[in-house]
């Protein structure tokens, strides 16, 4: 288990370093458009994806870089996609919110809130119909709890016993509004209304996420139907990279408390050192190595060529 936790630590750290460089690209005006950083939520993606096989599927969200990397995407190709370069996963045409990587089972990020709920159910139906033994995880934020397509999809998933996990990342804020102002009632009562198995987890503790999700994944793989997981987490940065001053919708003290007391990387690092006798110096070396890797990946993407003019009509099907 120690080796798995060290791997999880490395993955969370890689996501953090990747996102910090995405913010740097934006502030230097090298990246077109906006990006929604996953900083603070790394334990959710890493804990979930470690419970999956490489050929299992995920669907992602507008805040999807962490999901993509945790499922196995390469940072250099991720950077290239964000920068609109031809070497990117979608040849530079998808950008931050539409990255897909079929080779790692990533069916794609989606800029529409709740937009992948039905896609995930469809992929799960395909897996069951073709007897492929694949499980699907549908990531979405708490804002999607107000979208009808989520409940339509969960209803069919339960009726047809589809192998899909609906994974709600509740980072407390629907853009700039606290979820308590938009979401009525008990969140956990919603999947219960469909008879869907449900569980919650501390989204800042990667061990808790993994231990909650892993048995539900195996349950789905056995054919016992869908599940719903509520991962309680927090985004340390703004809704997007341009959301710098956040005092008007959340207290600075609240933000600082989460950053200093509930950092998922620090929580696992402390556990590794104090409980499992991991070498703090080795963790520091891992940080230094990953920093160099991310810097190399970012520089490669910056220098990579843009698509040619003739590429504009490629991969257009409608």
| Per-residue 3-state assignment (H helix, E strand, C coil) for 103-138 | HHCECCCCCCCCCCHHHHHHHHHHHHHCCCCCCEEE
**Per-residue confidence (pLDDT) for residue 69, from 0 to 100:** 98
Tell me what pLDDT residue 313 has: 87
pLDDT for the residue numbered 312: 86
Confirm if 228 and 191 have CB atoms less than 8 A apart.
Answer: yes
Residue 316 confidence (pLDDT)? 82
**pLDDT on residue 284:** 97
Per-residue pLDDT of the chain (318 residues), as tens digits, is: 799 999 999 999 999 999 999 999 999 999 999 999 999 999 999 999 999 999 999 999 999 999 999 999 999 999 999 999 999 999 999 999 999 999 999 999 999 999 999 999 999 999 999 999 999 999 999 999 999 999 999 999 999 999 999 999 999 999 999 999 999 999 999 999 999 999 999 999 999 999 999 999 999 999 999 999 999 999 999 999 999 999 999 999 999 999 999 999 999 999 999 999 999 999 999 999 999 999 999 999 999 999 998 888 888 887
Give, as one character, the DSSP assignment of residue 224: -
Q: How many CA atoms lie within 13 A of 208 on its CB side?
A: 18
CA distances from 107 to 12, 100, 117, 174, 254 (A): 21, 5, 12, 24, 35
Residue-level pLDDT at 197: 98
Task: Measure Cα distances from 154 to 116, 237, 308 in Å.
Answer: 12, 31, 42
Q: Is the dihedral of CA 310, 311, 315, 318 positive or negative?
A: negative
Tell me the backbone φ, ψ of residue 163, rounded to 5 degrees: -80, 70
pLDDT at 70: 98
Q: How far apart are CA 120 and CA 205, in angstroms?
A: 25
Tokens standing for residue 183: 């979401």
* pLDDT at 11 (0 to 100): 98
d(CA 168, CA 129): 26
């Amino acid at each position: 288990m120690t080796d798995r936790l060290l791997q999880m630590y490395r993955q969370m750290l890689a996501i953090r370093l990747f996102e910090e460089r995405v913010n740097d690209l934006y502030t230097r005006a090298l990246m077109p458009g906006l990006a929604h950083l996953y900083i603070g939520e790394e334990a959710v993606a890493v804990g979930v994806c470690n419970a999956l096989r490489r050929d299992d599927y995920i669907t992602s969200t507008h805040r999807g870089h962490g999901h993509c990397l945790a499922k196995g995407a390469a940072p250099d190709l991720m950077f290239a996609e964000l920068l609109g370069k031809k070497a990117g996963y979608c040849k530079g045409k998808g950008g931050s919110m539409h990255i897909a990587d079929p080779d790692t089972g990533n069916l794609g990020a989606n800029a529409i809130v709740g937009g992948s709920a039905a896609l995930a159910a469809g992929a799960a139906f395909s897996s069951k119909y073709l007897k492929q033994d694949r499980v699907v995880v549908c990531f979405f934020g708490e804002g999607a709890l107000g979208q009808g397509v989520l409940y339509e999809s969960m209803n069919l998933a339960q009726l047809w016993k589809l192998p899909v996990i609906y994974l709600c990342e509740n980072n407390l804020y629907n853009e700039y509004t606290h979820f308590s102002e938009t979401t009525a009632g008990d969140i956990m009562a919603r999947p219960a209304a469909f008879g869907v198995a449900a569980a919650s987890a501390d989204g800042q503790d990667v061990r808790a996420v993994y231990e909650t999700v892993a048995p539900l994944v195996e349950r789905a793989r056995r054919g016992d139907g869908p599940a719903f997981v509520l991962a309680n987490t927090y985004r340390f940065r703004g809704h997007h990279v341009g959301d710098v001053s956040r005092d008007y919708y959340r207290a600075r003290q609240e933000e600082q408390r989460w950053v200093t007391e509930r950092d998922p990387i620090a929580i696992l690092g402390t556990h590794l050192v104090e409980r499992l006798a991991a070498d703090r110096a080795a963790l520091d070396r891992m940080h230094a190595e990953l920093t160099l890797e991310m810097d190399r990946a970012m520089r490669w993407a910056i220098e990579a060529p843009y698509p040619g003019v003739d590429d504009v009509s490629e991969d257009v099907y409608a």
